[in-house]
Amino acid sequence: MNGHHLSRLLERAAARRPDHPAVEDDQGRRLSYAELRRGADRVATRLSRWGTGRGDRVGLWLPKGLEAVTAVHGILRAGAAYVPVDAMGPAVRAASILAAGGVKVAVVSAALAPSLRAAWPGGSPLPRLILAGTEAAPPETVAPGDAPWAEVLADDAPSPLDPPRSDDDLAYILFTSGSTGQPKGVMLSHANAGTFLDWCSGALGPFETDDRFASHAPLHFDLSVLDLFLCCRNAATLVLIGERLGKDPGRLGDFLAERRISVWYSAPSILALLVQHGGLDRPGFAAPRLVLFAGEVFPIAALRRLRAAWPEARMWNLYGPTETNVCTAYPIPATIPADREAPYPIGRVCPPLRARVVDADGRAVPPGTIGELVIAGPAVMRGYFGQPELTERAFLRDADSTRWYRTGDLVRDDGRGCYEFHGRRDRMVKKRGHRIELGEIESALYRHEGVDRAGVVARADDSGVAIAAFVALKPGAKKSIIAMKRHCTVYLPHYMVPDTITFLDGLPATSTDKVDYSRLNSLAAGEGAPP
Ligand code: AMP
């Protein structure tokens, strides 16, 4: 079976509407479906010439742009899986993710290539690079076998024959924060993604070829899967929002209006900023007709303002970890009552997935009781790349061997199959939609030679969530907050760098000598005295 293979989407769209704009970037450059198809073919040709295809992984470390989208389709066309890495994140993290993913080739912006090589961990072979972008890498840092993007696109070798493909093949690996310090590679197959896209078409459709999908999420976020592939499935136009524009709500408001975006999908935090600073109430602003958000709770006051600005739009709160794709959904009503204080629920399970609420021992709890949400069905990941034990622990198994993914999220079934979200059962937090394991920040702090003990907690602040780190130094180490933050930026993306760092003589400990997080939470809240 290969009806869900993502490479089919571009083939069909290019056959159906070859001259229709497939993708536009925020600089005004664009590719038609025929051009995108040709570019993807060229990338696939190069990969297969380099012996890379089905069963292989290809990394992506470049800003969101026409090249990145072309590369995604080319990698899928070659039968390989793409492994996108945060283009704005540090080289050490990118290199360790790409090495952990065992990529044979990486498409990297030429300007970033030298830092990737320098940060590459010893012991794993360097991948061959396709160098994208206009800024050239200094010649001495380009390895002999690497290929510039322009050369790949100009190649007139025959396109590879259709590679053998199966829906069960790996389509992409998305690395998310890992509590032990090593990011976890969530493996998703074409069938996993296709199941999700089928649900989108049924529940959120119909879509039109004239739809214009914004692509706000970076490619290493699972939200981008909807943008990239639902758009292509409908031969509509994908409008890319680059990393800088994506964080600038004032300019983003203008951009939405000028580019006539009709489908929007992002984390709630950027929508909350847009409604505050984006000038959405200007006369004649054509609001998107479909607005989707996911990734964190949308505070009700900000959602009410958005609803008032865009009363006609269909709006959905989507929920799901990267490991399951979207797995529950709730339609937001046209008006939000003035006295509503609670956030809207995460909603009902998306068929054909199944959901259950369980206690700490994995037994189903009755409706009305808070428990952990577990999810089964064909959109659920295959597992974590190269980590069979972690994968095993991520699932509960039924007597009939159904695998239920343990989301770690606490929910309550209202008695009618609609779930309310009640936070986490572990130390994972969301900050502006980014998934952060506080343990990964602690691991980064421990990589500093002067750190004796470190504990990290999150607390709510005016802008959402703030990360507070507490550090006890080894004797003689210098207490410098600036140096410690700088150290963190070498290993962590900017959103994980602690907002505050407090040096303590010793960390509060439990009777079993573990870090006492409840006391750290009190310290972070300004209550209680340091030990
Ligand atoms: P990620 O894997 O980055 O998509 O993050 C998944 C986590 O984000 C979930 O396990 C939840 O904790 C949180 N999350 C996702 N969607 C929502 C939502 N609509 N409301 C509240 N939390 C959400």
| Phi, psi for residue 84 in degrees, rounded to 5 | -80, 145
Q: Tell me how far the alpha carbon of residue 428 lies from the centroid of ligand 1, in angstroms.
A: 10
Ligand 1: which atom is nearest the Cα of residue 346?
A: 19
- What's the CATH fold of domain 353-424? Luciferase; domain 3 (2.30.38)
DSSP codes, 251-317: HHHHHHHHTT--EEEE-HHHHHHHHHHS-TTSTT----SEEEEESS---HHHHHHHHHHSTTSEEEE
Residue 286 CA to residue 171 CA, distance in Å, equals 35
Residue 465 CA to residue 431 CA, distance in Å, equals 6
Q: Which helix (H) or strand (E) holds 232?
A: helix 231-233
Whether the model pTM is above 0.85 = yes
- What's the CATH fold of domain 432-524? GMP Synthetase; Chain A, domain 3 (3.30.300)
Q: Is 435 in the pocket of ligand 1 (CB under 6 A)?
A: yes
- The token pair at 519 is 């006391």
Q: Is 321 in the pocket of ligand 1 (CB under 6 A)?
A: yes
pLDDT at 136: 64
Pairing of strands 314-319, 81-84: unpaired
266 closest CA partner among 230, 301, 227: 227
271: left (phi over 0), alpha (psi -120 to 50) or beta: alpha
Say if 7-194 and 353-424 have the same CATH topology. Answer: no
> Which strands form 128-132's sheet, in the order they lie side by side?
147-148, 128-132, 105-109, 57-61, 81-84, 170-176, 184-189, 383-384
pLDDT at 141: 66
264 closest CA partner among 305, 311, 215, 218: 215
- The token pair at 430 is 């969301």
Q: What is the DSSP letter of 131?
A: E
Residue whose CB lies within 8 A of the most ligand 1 atoms, among 430, 431, 434, 438, for a mutation test: 430
Tell me if 101 sits within 8 A of 148, measured CB to CB: no
List the chain residues with pLDDT less than 50: none
119 closest CA partner among 94, 89, 147, 146: 94
Q: Which helix (H) or strand (E) holds 318?
A: strand 314-319
Q: Candidates 1.10.8.60, 3.40.50.980, 3.20.20.70, 3.40.605.10; correct CATH number of 7-194?
A: 3.40.50.980
87 closest CA partner among 66, 114, 68: 68
Residue whose CB lies within 8 A of the most ligand 1 atoms, among 421, 424, 438, for a mutation test: 421
Residues 111, 116, 119, CA angle at the centre, nearest 5°? Answer: 140
Residue found under tokens 């007597």: 399
Residues 320, 4, 31, CA angle at the centre, nearest 5°? Answer: 90
Q: Is 322 in the pocket of ligand 1 (CB under 6 A)?
A: yes
Tell me if 239 sits within 8 A of 24, measured CB to CB: yes
226 closest CA partner among 176, 265, 178, 255: 265
| Per-residue pLDDT tens digits for 231-253 | 999 999 999 999 999 999 999 99
Ligand 1: which atom is nearest the Cα of residue 293?
A: 19
Q: Tell me how far the alpha carbon of residue 347 lies from the centroid of ligand 1, in angstroms.
A: 13
Residue 62 CA to residue 361 CA, distance in Å, equals 43
The domains of the chain are located at: 7-194, 353-424, 432-524
Q: Is 319 in the pocket of ligand 1 (CB under 6 A)?
A: yes
Tell me if 473 sits within 8 A of 450, measured CB to CB: yes
pLDDT at 282: 86
pLDDT at 509: 93
Hey, whose CA ends up nearest to atom 19 of ligand 1?
319
Hey, whose CA ends up nearest to atom 15 of ligand 1?
295
Q: Is 220 in the pocket of ligand 1 (CB under 6 A)?
A: no
